[in-house]
Amino acid sequence: MVSRVEHPAAGYRKIFETVEELNEPIPAEITGRIPSWLGGSLLRMGPGLFEIGDEPFHHLFDGYALIHKFDMKDGQVTYYRKFLNSDAYVRAMTENRIVVTEFGTAAYPDPCKNIFSRFFTYFKGMEVTDNCMVNLYPIGEDFYAVTETNYITKVDPDSLETLEKVDLCKYLSVNGLTAHPHIDEDGAVYNIGNCFGKNLSLAYNIVKIPPAQEDKSNPLEKSEVVVQLPSSERLKPSYIHSFGMTKNYFVFVEPPVKINLLKFLSAWSFRGATYMDCFEPNETMGTWFHLATKDPANYLSNHKFRTSAFNIFHHINTYEEEEGFIVVDVCTWKGHDFVYNYLYLANLREDWEDVKKAAMRAPQPEVRRYVLPLDIHREEQGKNLVSLPYTTATAVLRTDGTIWLEPEVLFSGPRLAFEFPQINYSLCSGRKYSFTYGLGLNHFIPDRIVKLNVQTKETWVWQEDECYPSEPLFVSRPGATEEDDGVLLSIVVKPGAERPGFLLVLDAMKLTELARATVNTIIPVTLHGLYKP
C-alpha cells in the first residue's frame, strides 16, 4: 500500500483540462462482466471548464460544474455529461469572462465599461457563487447539486438539466452548508453550517431537512435548526467540510483552519479578493471535538475534547459503543497549514518531480481513530478513560476540565493519503463497522483505490499504470449479508489509451476488477456523487 509509484509522463494533467459537454449519451465498450443486478446511474460532480476566454481559473475548486452520468441497464452502459447552468456559468459564457468570484479566482469588472461604471462596480462587493460542483444528494424526492455556499441547484438526474437555483438562507439561519450531509433511514437530511448572528456572534448550526412530504410540499419549507454549537473564536469560525452522526449524537470537529470574518466582510466590499484569501491558521488552538445529543438535541458543553492540530475534510464513520464511548474515524492532515493551499491548478499541473517537491511541504495525511468517553468523573484526572479493548486511542481528563485525545493511527504512508472515504452507508453509518474504501492520493495525485479494514488495518489496492481514478462508491449486492458484499464504482482516466475514460467496476470484497466500460473521451476530475438505483 505504501509503495511509491512514479508518474513521469504527467498524464494526470489531463484530468485538470477543459472538456465539452455531450449532445447525447455515448455508448461504452464493455470488457469483463457487469453484474446482472447492477442497474442504475452513477452521478458525479466536478469541475469541467477551467478557463473562460483568456482568463484561467486558479484553484481546483473554481472550474464550472459538470454533471457526469454513467447509465447501466441490461448489461449496456452509456456515458453523458452536461454543464450545470448556474448563474455564474451562464453569465460567464455570455460575457466571455469570469463574472463571479470563485474559491480561488477573483472576478473583475467588465473592462469594456467606462471608467466610472468600472469604479463603482469595483467597490460593489463580491457576489456569492452558485457554482455547485462539489456533490449531489437527494432532498425529499428531488436531487440537488451543491457546493459550500448558501446556494444549491435542483437538477434532473435523468436528463441532467438544471431546474432551479435555491437560496438556503430563505429557509434556514445559515450562511452555507457543507456538501456532506447525513441521510437518516427515513430520508431526513442533517447538515451543518456556519451562522453569523447579531453583533458578529458566530456559531455552527446543525440543521434538519425532513423527508419527502405526503402532501408533496417542499421539505425545505419545514427545515429547522436542531442544535447550535459555539465557535472557539468570536470573529473566526473554522472551515467545515463534514461532521459525524450516530443514532443518538452529533460530533463536530473544529479544526484550526479559520475564516477571518473581517477579511471575509472586506472581500465583500472590495474586489480582487477570493475565498482563499480569508483563510488563516490558528497556531495555538489545536483541534476541538464538540458533542451534542440528537433527540432531544442538546449541546454537551461539559464535554470539552481537545487534541493536537490537524486539517479535516472527511469523516469516515462515527458510532457508539455500549460501554459509553463514541468512536470517530476521520481522514486527517497533520498541523494547522491549510491543505487547500496546495490545490492550486498550477501546482497540480507541474512536472512529476515538482509535484512531489510541493507535496513535501504540505501537511502529512493520516487516517485516525479518536474515542470520546461519555462518562466523565472529576476524580479520574490523569487517567486514560478509554477502556475499549480493540483500540489504542486514549482520552485523559486534565485539571482544566478538558479531555485530551490521542488517536490510534489506522493508516499512514509518506505523502500518501487515504481520502474521499466511503462505507456501506445504509448498513454501517453510525454503527460499528469493518471496511472503508477510499481514493489513494500519491503526492495529491489520485492514482489508486484502497480498501481498509479499520479493525485489522489490512489494506487492498487497485492500481494500473497511468490510471487516475475517482472516489469509489460502494453499491451493496441485493440480499447481501456481508458488509463488503457488493461492488465499487469509480470513474477512471487513462490518458494514453485509445478510449481514455472508463467506468471501473470492482469486487468490493477482493478489490479485483469485474468489468470496465470505456468511452472515447477524456473525463476531468470528479469530486463526489451518488449511485441512483
Residue type, 302: N
**443 a known binding residue?**
no
88 membership: H or E segment, kind and range: helix 87-95
Which amino acid type is present at position 340? Y
Q: How far is CA 142 from the centre of its chain?
A: 20
Q: Do 397 and 380 meet the contact criterion of CB atoms below 8 Å apart?
A: yes
DSSP structural state of residue 220: G
Q: Which helix (H) or strand (E) holds 137?
A: strand 135-139
Residue 84 CA to residue 71 CA, distance in Å, equals 19
Q: Is 182 annotated as a binding residue?
A: no
The closest alpha carbon to 492, from 460, 445, 530, 526, belongs to 526
Q: What is the dihedral of CA 462, 465, 467, 468, to 10 degrees?
A: 70
Per the CB < 8 A criterion, the answer to whether 376 and 303 are in contact is yes
Query: How far apart, in whole angstroms, are the C-alpha atoms of residue 208 and residue 383?
Result: 37
Closest CA to 137 of 419, 425, 517: 425
Q: DSSP string covering 288-320, please? A: EEEEEEETTEEE-TT--EEES-EEEEEEEEEEE
68 annotated binding-site participant:
no
Q: Count how many residues are written for the chain.
A: 533
Sheet with 162-167, strands from edge to edge, namely 135-139, 142-146, 151-155, 162-167
SS3 268: helix
Whether 114 contacts 193, CB under 8 Å:
no
Element (H, E) at 115: helix 115-122
In single-letter form, the type of residue at position 152 comes to I
526: phi then psi, degrees, rounded to nearest 5 = -115, 155
In terms of C-beta density within 10 A (0-12 exposed, 13-18 middle, 19 or more buried), how is residue 491 classed?
buried
Q: How far apart are CA 262 and CA 180, in angstroms?
A: 27
CA distances from 431 to 251, 320, 423 (A): 14, 7, 11
In the block, cell 485509445 appears at: 498
Phi, psi of 134 (to 5 degrees): -95, -45
Using an 8 Å Cβ cutoff, are 336 and 238 in contact?
A: no
Cα separations in angstroms, 531 against 47, 70, 307, 524? 19, 10, 36, 19
Q: Does 59 count as an annotated binding residue?
A: no
Give residues with Cβ within 8 angstroms of 214, minimum separation 6: none
Q: What's the maximum distance between 2 C-alpha atoms anywhere in the chain?
A: 72
- List the binding residues for Fe cation: 180, 241, 314, 528
Name the binding residues. Answer: 180, 241, 314, 528
